[in-house]
Amino acid sequence: MLYYLFTWLDREYDIPGAGVFQYISFRTAMSVIISLLVTTIYGNRLIKILRAKQVGETVRNLGLEGQMQKQGTPTMGGLIILLGILVPTLLLAKLDNIYIILMLITTVWMGVIGFVDDYIKVFKKDKEGLAGKFKILGQVILALIIGWTMYFHPDIVVRQQVTLPTTSVAPLEVHQKGDNYYFTQNLKSTKTNFPFYKNSELDYAKVLKFLGDGYERYALVVFLLFVIFIITAVSNGANITDGIDGLATGTSAIIAATLAILAYVSGNTIMAEYLNIMYIPNSGELVIFAGAFLGACVGFLWYNSYPAQVFMGDTGSLAIGGIIAVFAIMIRKELLIPILCGVFVVENLSVILQVSYFKYTRKRFGEGRRILLMSPLHHHYQKRGYHESKIVTRFWIIGVFLAILTIVTLKLR
């Protein structure tokens, strides 16, 4: 909203300084600042409201040191994160941008699913919360909305090099590289960036190339399946990681900063050409959203660091995972998620392997055996006697390393 206001003031009254809102860098910086202010100032007020309403966490006794001291700590603090994301985005982003619209839908949609889950746990006294099948259904519906919109919406295109003559009516742009000239067009595409590969692109449609002629007609199905898998996997991974104070929040902040960088280079024609990655017109606006996301995570960490004054609950963790997944998909960097979200991936795998191995050994030997002392992985280290703060700090360090590696992959081929 502020973007439109100051653009109008600059155009109509030529007010000095109003034109600065045209710059993505300025609006991103303001987005981070506003998000930090919202989460730190109003976060404290919300925590007091949650305490007054007795919206406390019910902790299961898992035999972990200091665990039962967290009994009654306010939960549903993800509302603070949602507020810290939505307010700066609505104020500073171009609200007619399809990428921003999809991110706002994702934030609210996943936040509502998490809120319902927390509400059932807290107020209905049902420890299981929202049934897993309904969570998955909500994630799948969101994935279908995102995938369908990306496939058909006319404003979601990528710039691709073309050879003449071309059947597309999209305007041609001429580029010079040394003594050679080439042409590009903004086209609909199911391509995405592929890490560690020379040409840096993978076309989802070509996954079905073995079917022979006409395989392109099934491209939408393949794309939707990938989107469904990525969104459900990442959102559940973030949910599992949210097990000790500050772990999911700090890790998500690192991921948010990295996504901001990736969105900037993908939405900047000069940087995209230099890095030899797909240029995605209008996607630069996502940097403002990423700034709000970063500020919300860092601001929430003010209250969520050890010892936590509030837990984000599923309201926050499911929303965070959904945001990361959808953001990566829209800037065509979703295949970097296993690296960038490595902490989420390992936490997810630790649960899958633990449960699978337990079931296998119980069937094979008559008694269940475990790979880890306890899953997810962070609880394994707690069982080994590591303090929460040490575990969280070391996971953050790993997250920073993975973030740097993710950015390096843009040139490492």
B/e letters for 286-310, b = 16+ CB within 10 Å, e = fewer, are: bbbbbbbbbbbbbbbbbbbeeebbb
Per this entry, what is the length of the chain?
A: 413
Which carries the bigger pLDDT value, residue 7 or residue 322?
322
Please report the pLDDT score of residue 391 as a whole number: 94
Please report the pLDDT score of residue 347 as a whole number: 94
Helices (H) and strands (E) in the chain, counts: 15, 5
**What is the share, in percent, of the chain residues with pLDDT greater than 70?**
88
Instruction: Summarize the confidence of residues 294-315 as an average pLDDT.
Output: 92
Please report the pLDDT score of residue 259 as a whole number: 97
The answer, yes or no, to whether residue 389 has pLDDT greater than 60, is yes
How far apart (Å, rounded) are the C-alpha atoms in residues 314 and 329? 22
Please report the pLDDT score of residue 75 as a whole number: 85
| Per-residue pLDDT tens over the stretch 238-253 | 999 988 989 999 999 9
Please report the pLDDT score of residue 366 as a whole number: 84
- Collapsing DSSP states into helix, strand and coil, what is residue 100? helix
Please report the pLDDT score of residue 99 as a whole number: 96
Q: Are 310 and 78 in contact (CB under 8 A)?
A: no
Report the 10 Å Cβ neighbour count for 217. 10
Please report the pLDDT score of residue 47 as a whole number: 87
Q: Residue 299 — φ and ψ, nearest 5°?
A: -65, -40
| Per-residue pLDDT tens over the stretch 346-372 | 999 999 999 999 999 998 888 888 999
Q: Are 351 and 240 in contact (CB under 8 A)?
A: yes
Stretch among 157-161, 227-231, 314-318, 368-372 having the lowest mean pLDDT: 157-161
| Per-residue pLDDT tens over the stretch 165-198 | 666 656 666 665 666 666 667 778 888 888 877 6
| Per-residue pLDDT tens over the stretch 338-347 | 999 999 999 9
**412 dihedral zone (left: phi>0; alpha: psi -120 to 50; beta):** beta
Please report the pLDDT score of residue 365 as a whole number: 86
**44 dihedral zone (left: phi>0; alpha: psi -120 to 50; beta):** alpha
Please report the pLDDT score of residue 172 as a whole number: 64
Please report the pLDDT score of residue 121 as a whole number: 87
Which carries the bigger pLDDT value, residue 166 or residue 284?
284
**What is the share, in percent, of the chain residues with pLDDT greater than 90?**
55
Q: Are 190 and 151 in contact (CB under 8 A)?
A: yes
* H or E, element range at 177: strand 173-177
| Per-residue pLDDT tens over the stretch 77-113 | 999 999 999 999 999 999 999 999 999 999 999 999 9
Tell me 279's DSSP state.
B
Residue spans of alpha helices (H) in 267-387: 269-275, 286-304, 313-330, 337-340, 342-365, 377-383
Which carries the bigger pLDDT value, residue 110 or residue 64?
110
Instruction: Summarize the confidence of residues 369-384 as an average pLDDT.
Output: 91
The answer, yes or no, to whether residue 65 has pLDDT greater than 70, is no
Which carries the bigger pLDDT value, residue 207 or residue 399?
399
Residue (of 123, 369, 348, 141) closest to 243 by Cα position: 348
How far apart (Å, rounded) are the C-alpha atoms in residues 216 and 219? 5
Q: Identify the band that residue 326 occupies on the pLDDT scale cut at 50, 70 and 90.
A: very high
| Per-residue pLDDT tens over the stretch 191-207 | 888 887 766 778 887 77
Report the chain's mean pLDDT, rounded to a whole number.
87
Please report the pLDDT score of residue 16 as a whole number: 75
Q: Identify the band that residue 23 occupies on the pLDDT scale cut at 50, 70 and 90.
A: confident
How far apart (Å, rounded) are the C-alpha atoms in residues 236 and 132? 11
Q: Please report how the helices 132-152 and 98-123 are oriented relative to each other, as an axis angle in degrees rounded to 10.
A: 170
Q: Are 361 and 368 in contact (CB under 8 A)?
A: yes
Report the 10 Å Cβ neighbour count for 54. 10
Which carries the bigger pLDDT value, residue 210 or residue 195?
195
How far apart (Å, rounded) are the C-alpha atoms in residues 65 and 241? 18
